[in-house]
Structure 1
Amino acid sequence: MPPTQLFILTGASRGMGLAMAQQLLKPHHTVVCIARHSNPDLTAAAMASDVALEQWQQDLSRGQAAAEHLRTWLKKQAPDAFTSATLINNAGVIPRITPLSDSDPADLANALRVGLEAPMQLTAAFLHATADWAVPRKVLNISSGLGRRAMASQAAYCAAKAGMDHFTRCLALDEAAKPHGAKVCSLAPGVIDTDMQVQLRGAPTADFPDAPNFAHLKSGGLLTSPADAATRVLAWLDRADFGTQPVADVREG
């Protein structure tokens, strides 16, 4: 069989995640997508391109179950089945846009589980299961500028992304101490024209003081399309120096 690269991607059913999945459907790639819903267009594209694709329907608020599924699947693969292995933690949600004092506890818990807990659990499972693979391994965490800049009424999302940045810094130290450690990076992809942007610019100003700023990004043509953002993120993943900066921003490259 020809050499095959493995890519595992969360949040692949829509937005930039879907665009990344579409761009990863190339010859000699095996793509595993993890999301609450499968995407029939991805299935059709994979069949047309004769690319190995699996879509796991998994609620990432149940990160432990997702991690156990991933660990079990990876353990069944032959250590020499792939020439490289990459995990891309892309999934994330924003809870109801409101000050923390008015937030619903279950909503906050869901945002932190999907945006921080699940990426940590999946990363642990991925690295443990592939520890003996003699191939390059990478972990790309999709972060946000809001992990590095506070914003009113978005405490849970900002906290999840800040946590993602910092656990990636810790992980980089762990992996650097290993003979064949993985390369890791928490990458902010820029401001993208997704459903999340629709939520932010449509929020009442009384609840979300930054709503006019997000509306201006749209009206001013300052948003990146999901496809263009995916191209820039995957280009960063392919850089020879990937991982030298554990926390980075595509706009600074």
Structure 2
Amino acid sequence: MKYVIITGASRGLGEALTRQLLQEGHHLFCISRRKNETLLEEAQKKNVALEYFEYDLQNLDGLEKLMEHIFDQIDLSRAKTIALINNAGIVEPVKPIEKCPTDELTANIHVNLLAPMVLTSLFVKLADRFNGDKRIMNISSGAGKRAVHGWSAYCTSKAGLDLFTRCVGLEQEGQTNPVKVLSVAPGIIDTDMQTNIRSTQQEDFPDVERFIEYKVQGQLMSPAFVAEKLICLFFEEQWPQGGVVDIRDYL
């Protein structure tokens, strides 16, 4: 049995990733602010165990209890793989730093960086007694490698996620049964996040016209296409431990 925990699993790339994982022999634990009833119905038809935990990742204090509850449901005697996909993310606030409200900056760093850090910490600790395949995939962004006007929070959080991945990979190299960890930039995907970006005022985000052109010219990849490639990479036998990669290198 492959047990997979995935965050942000109700829409966008998270929904597409979850749909790709609706396979025989999988047990999915989905963490998101709301349930996706369509996915629940599909899982039932395919006889795949899928559980939703309606949870806001801005609330870091409750993550330990949540992860302990999830691990209590994992049968280690049946497990072949235990995995975590840190997918949830938000781009807001999209505006120069002096215009960014404190609560929006806090929410961005909590969801994009601190929640994956806490979940990874808990995953490594709780999975320590499991001797099988253990892996974590962090969904990052190309924005973590370059400065973007108006994206100070998003760029910073994704850059932090990439370096965090490298650190955990380094720590795990010396373990007898290491957790494999990888950070992946998924490219530009046609999701609600892109819709929000295109609706931003140009004075706050000077590159908005370029993102509008991505949509007009059909340059956005579909969530289903990217999810398929990510899941193929996710289950590869060999990973660059602590690697930071771009999914477009695997297309």
Q: For the superposition of Structure 1 and Structure 2, which TM-score range results when normalised by the shorter chain? A: over 0.9
Correspondence for 1:46: 43
C-alpha separation between the residues in 1 aligned to 2:225 and 2:74? 33
User: 1:167 aligned to 2:167?
Assistant: no
Aligned positions, number:
250
Describe the superposition over 1:84-112 as per-residue Cα deviations: whole angstroms up to 9, x where unpaired. 11100000112232100110001100010
1:59 paired with 2:59, answer no
Specify the SS of the correspondent of 1:60.
coil
Q: Helix, strand or coil for the counterpart of 1:79? A: coil
**Structure 1 unmatched ranges of 5 or more:** none
- Where 1:85 maps in the other structure, the secondary structure is strand
| 1:158 correspondence with 2:148 | no
CA distance in 2, matches of 1:93, 1:149: 17
Q: Normalized against structure 2, the TM-score is what? A: 0.96
Counterpart of 1:182, as a letter, is: V
AA matched with 2:60: G
Amino acid at match of 2:85: I
Q: Does 1:111 align with 2:113?
A: no
Residue 95 of structure 1 pairs with residue 92 of structure 2: yes
- The answer on 1:22 being equivalent to 2:19 is yes
Where does residue 220 of structure 1 map in the other structure? Answer: 217
1:120 aligns with 2:148: no
Aligned pairs for 1:127-206 within 5 A: 127-206=124-203
SS at match of 1:112: helix
Compared CA separation, residues 158 and 30, structure 1 to 2 (3 A): same
- 1:245, distance to aligned residue in structure 2 (A): 5.6
What residue is the counterpart of 1:236 in the other structure? Answer: 233
CA distance in 2, matches of 1:214, 1:17: 21
The aligned residue for residue 248 of structure 1 is: 245
Q: Which residue of 1 aligns with 2:66?
A: 69
- The sequence identity of aligned pairs, in percent, is 36
Give the match's secondary structure for 1:168.
helix
| 1:34 aligns to 2:31 (yes or no) | yes
Other structure's SS at 1:6 match: strand
Deviation at 1:121, TM superposition (A): 0.5
* CA shift for structure 1 position 72: 3.5
Structural RMSD (CA): 1.2
TM-score normalised over the length of structure 1: 0.96
Q: Distance in 2 between matches of 1:243 and 1:74?
A: 26
Tell me, in whole angstroms, the C-alpha distance in 2 between the residues paired with 1:135 and 1:69: 22
